[in-house]
Amino acid sequence: MQQLGMGQAVNQALREEMQRDSRVFIAGEGVGVSIHDSPMLPTAGLLGEFGPGRVKDTPVSEAAIAGLAVGAAAAGLRPVVEIMFNPFFTLASDMIVNHAAKLRYLSGGKSTFPLVIRMKSGAGFGAGCQHSHNLEAWVAHCPGLKVIMPSTPADAKGLLKAAIRDEDPVIFIEDMMLYFAPGPVPEEPYLIPIGKAEVKREGSDVTVVTWSKMLGVAMQAAAQLAEEGIDVEVVDLRTLVPLDKETILQSTRKTGRLVVLHEASRTGGFAGEICAVVMEEAFGSMKAPFRRVTGPDIPVPASPPLERFYIPDATKLVAAVKEIV
Amino acid sequence: MQVSKDKQWEMLRTLLLARSFEDALVELCKVQGKIPGMMILCTGQEAVGSGVCAALSPEDVILTNHRSHSHLLAKGADPRTLMAEIYGKATGCNRGKSGTLHLAVPEVNAPCTTTVVGGGLPLAVGFAFAQMYRQERTVTVCFFGDGAADEGSFHEALNLASLWKLPVIFVCENNLYAGAQRYEEHTRVQNVADRAGAYAMPGEIVDGNDALAVYEATRRARERALGGLGPTLIECKTYRCRGHGESDPQHYQPREEIQMWTEKCPLPRLHGEMLAQGLITPQELEALQAEVDRLVQDAVRFAEESPYPEPHEALEDVLVAS
């Protein structure tokens, strides 16, 4: 099987969907000619293949980029636009929160907005908090948006293809560290359904719910804990909205214990939502209090030791699991 | 160039219809519990919607704002379903989801009304991009007020539309007030149209109370857009004769200013010229007025008699598939 980084997997998804459907176009800052020239990046080579009519380099204008997507989607195209880094979402947020998410509702269901907004995210590059800030909980809190945050290159490819074909606005968040962590990606065409979590590791003692880059941390901690006789089940959400409650509840009813792991800061983070769902719907099966392992309530710092302190690691997760097992 | 008699009739009809529609709303919104939310009217500014829309094809797209009624009626929206939506009824054009402020009528290519000031401008870029992408012979019009020209979205949208030579007509309906601020209290440049040069597009100033002038300017901008020459910024100078909304006592608008502009009302402006030129007779004008009044009465009756949506319908129309 081919080994690809997540950026390359995204690239394949974009290429295949652009070949398949002439309504698909991409736009954003540097999606054609970038300040980086690496085959690991998501839009590498697409300008050459599809030309400047379908691969649109834009000015540094996040509101216009997002507005372009909303208008073009309503008019029947399939825009896939890039907001370079998750923190720049704030500049595009009116178009996403007040328009992409609400205009279908305001039309009484007459209009559809089949668009994808891709955003790079994640700490680990020493870039600091205005380039590294995971805002998935913000967008998940806006009815009218779907939110995808893949953890593996294979999932990224299948989910992005599904997102491009979806009739609703999708926020697709890619952790940049995963661009440089190759993994197996099937050669044959496939889609991964939106709204389906995946049990990435089966276990019986405790459920760890996580997504995106933190899957790696969860798998590492699970391997360590296995040596100590603690059997961890790892649920990778993949999609935050719509949330696959069934898989979460099935797992937590089985293990009776829950730890939620995410990189984003703690207060108002999506872990709180997962805990609430399990509390409301599976309380009778639970054997121990829940735990959250998250970034602290600080902006992501730049200095390597400070940034390492920020990002949740296997040691923290192992400790949290041991508190409740 | 002489505007055809048919076009002038069309504009006069939509002017009269919009005024009659809103005159009804002035009274209806005073009745406690009848109409939910705010009531924002365009009385005195109707020549902008009528003039612009008369220059468009049915396939052209318009995007409008909180002061939308005349734009939508001029584009051909059904007064009955508009009125029902304003009432919050199930038969409304958006099933009660939008109310008066966000009326969306995609069937006449008025796909959304955004009340975020300046929100329509980036959307217009997207609609126009799609028109260019599909090589359609159509344009997108974005109506916005003078206040919207102070938003960052104005700058981003005009820059991008010009850069890509998109078929957009940016129509600034400068009614001299943004909320309680008079134009010179919020903007330093004398005219919004002066900003067009910063985006390498033509900026045209027209008398916004003269439907014929608005029509002509729009027709030229449309030709330009369809010729691949890109967007135009048209500034229609007009006046907000009523408050920002109906609850606004207008204490900051000088009485004599309101009076002066009321005398420049775009309705007699057009039918006065048409009568003088023999394009319409007094009897025909009276009949036309009676016809639009009947339409409005019918729309009100339709809205009154329509049921409210069931509460659970609030859950519908969020996503296509969840």
Measured from the Cβ of residue A138, the count of other Cβ atoms closer than 10 Å reads 21
Q: Does a structural domain hold residue B19?
A: yes
Nearest-CA distance A287 → chain B (Å): 32
Residues of chain A with pLDDT below 50 are: none
The verdict on a CB contact (< 8 Å) between A144 and B163 is: no
- Walk me through the domains of chain A, giving residue ranges and CATH numbers: 2-185 (3.40.50.970), 198-324 (3.40.50.920)
**Residue B166 forms contact with A (CB below 8 Å):** no
Q: Which of B94, B123, B320 to mutate to test the interface with A (most CBs of A within 10 A)?
A: B123
Closest chain B CA to residue A194:
B322
The verdict on a CB contact (< 8 Å) between B111 and A107 is: yes
Active-site residue (options: A17, A29, A62, A174): A62
Give CA–CA dist A116/A40, Å, rounded: 20
**Residue A90 forms contact with B (CB below 8 Å):** no
Q: In this structure, what token pair is assigned to residue A214?
A: 């933190």
**Residue B316 forms contact with A (CB below 8 Å):** yes
With contact defined as beta carbons under 8 Å apart, do B231 and B167 qualify? Answer: yes
pLDDT digits (tens, 9 = 90+) for B128-180: 999 999 999 999 999 999 999 999 999 999 999 999 999 999 999 999 999 99
Per CB-CB distance under 8 Å, the chain A contacts of B98 are: 106-108
B245 has pLDDT over 80: yes
Q: Does a structural domain hold residue B308?
A: no
Give CA–CA dist A85/A122, Å, rounded: 9
**Residue A71 forms contact with B (CB below 8 Å):** yes
CB burial string B150-182: b at 16+ within 10 A, e below: bbbbbbbbbbbbbbbbbbbbbbbbbbbbbeeee
pLDDT digits (tens, 9 = 90+) for A140-162: 999 999 999 999 999 999 999 99
pLDDT-based confidence at residue B2 (cuts at 50, 70, 90): confident
Q: Does a structural domain hold residue B320?
A: no
Nearest-CA distance B44 → chain A (Å): 27
> What pLDDT was estimated at residue B266?
98
B302 has pLDDT over 80: yes
A131 assigned to active site:
yes
Looking at this predicted complex, what is its ipTM?
A: 0.94
Of B121, B164, B318, which is closest to A143 when you measure between CB atoms?
A: B318
pLDDT digits (tens, 9 = 90+) for A60-108: 999 999 999 999 999 999 999 999 999 999 999 999 999 999 999 999 9
> What pLDDT was estimated at residue A213?
98
**Residue B128 forms contact with A (CB below 8 Å):** yes
- What lies within 8 Å, CB to CB, of B249 at 6+ separation is B243
Q: Does a structural domain hold residue B310?
A: no
Q: Does a structural domain hold residue B146?
A: yes
Q: Which of residues 80-109 of B touch A (CB under 8 A)?
A: 92-98, 102, 104, 106-107
List beta partners, residue B173: B145, B236
Per CB-CB distance under 8 Å, the chain A contacts of B59 are: none
> What pLDDT was estimated at residue B322?
77
pLDDT (average), residues B256-281? 97
- A/B interface, count of CB pairs below 8 Å: 153
Active-site residue (options: A29, A82, A99, A131): A131
The continuous run of DSSP H or E covering A78 comes out as strand A78-85
Q: Does a structural domain hold residue B314?
A: no
Q: Does a structural domain hold residue B313?
A: no
pLDDT digits (tens, 9 = 90+) for B41-65: 999 999 999 999 999 999 999 999 9
**Residue A167 forms contact with B (CB below 8 Å):** yes
Domain range for B104: 5-301
**Residue A174 forms contact with B (CB below 8 Å):** no
A62 assigned to active site:
yes
What's the CATH number where B237 sits?
A: 3.40.50.970
What is the number of domains present in chain B? 1
Q: Does a structural domain hold residue B11?
A: yes
pLDDT-based confidence at residue B1 (cuts at 50, 70, 90): low
The verdict on a CB contact (< 8 Å) between B104 and A167 is: no
Report the sign of the C-alpha dihedral through residues A75, A77, A78, A84, in that order: negative
Find the Cα–Cα–Cα–Cα dihedral B263, B264, B267, B272, rounded to 10°.
90
> What pLDDT was estimated at residue B288?
98
